[in-house]
Amino acid sequence: MLAVTAIVAACQPPPSYESEPFSFAALPPLVFDLGGIEVVERGSTSHPSDVDHLFSTPPAVAARLWAEDRLQTSGDLGLLRVTIEEASARITPLKTNTDLKGLFTEEQAERLDLRLRVTIEAIDGSGQVNGSATADARRSRTLLEGITLAERERAYDEVVKALFHDYNASQEKAIRQYLGLYLR
């Protein structure tokens, strides 16, 4: 009976993690007296430790979603340019104990580092930049050795959400300080 239970347990699929949709729609929009919005992503150089492609919502995609949900225009002239300068997620292996003691302990095996840097510019009808606001947010998290795929996916989602909580507060403050003349 014990063997049958072990076989059935081994045949069970591993627990999965369902990511919730990433949205900032619950936050009030920032409305600018400009004619339109342009979102530009600067081509960043890839790095061997990049893991953003493994995220259900990579930082660059989340930055575009933030701009779509939070920024609006209601004017006739000018442009609000949102430039995603960096949106990276990198993983670094950490040194773990490889002796006998290491076999009996779970250690932090990887460090996940996220960075987001976005500049928002108010551009008048003649193409002149009349003001800009930049926010830079960073988050790091370590991951235990031997975590499951579902645990890894949850950790990725949690760290992106924490990054955007920081980014949102920082960028809104910068907008009010440096682009306040354009807000309605």
Compute the distance between CA of residue 42 and CA of residue 80 in angstroms, rounded to an integer: 16
Does residue 48 form part of some domain?
yes
What pLDDT digit, counting tens, does each position of 9-19 carry?
555 666 677 87
CB 88 within 8 A of CB 114: yes
Report for 23-27, 48-52, 130-134: range of highest mean pLDDT: 130-134
Does residue 61 form part of some domain?
yes
Compute the distance between CA of residue 89 and CA of residue 113 in angstroms, rounded to an integer: 6
Compute the distance between CA of residue 150 and CA of residue 8 in angstroms, rounded to an integer: 20
Q: 135: helix, coil or strand?
A: strand
* Mean per-residue pLDDT, 148-176: 96
Kindly state the tokens that stand for 60: 């660059």
Does residue 2 form part of some domain?
no
Compute the distance between CA of residue 20 and CA of residue 154 in angstroms, rounded to an integer: 10
* CATH code, domain with 79: 3.30.160
Residue 52's alpha-carbon distances to 37, 86, 88, 111, in angstroms, are 25, 12, 6, 14
Beta strand 129-144 with 30-32 is unpaired
Does residue 35 form part of some domain?
yes
Domain that holds residue 152: 26-182
What pLDDT digit, counting tens, does each position of 81-126 carry?
999 999 999 999 999 877 766 567 788 999 999 999 999 999 998 9
Compute the distance between CA of residue 144 and CA of residue 101 in angstroms, rounded to an integer: 16
Does residue 77 form part of some domain?
yes
Does residue 12 form part of some domain?
no
Does residue 176 form part of some domain?
yes
Count of structural domains within the chain:
1
Does residue 10 form part of some domain?
no
How far is it between the farthest Cα atoms of the chain?
A: 80
CB 79 within 8 A of CB 102: no
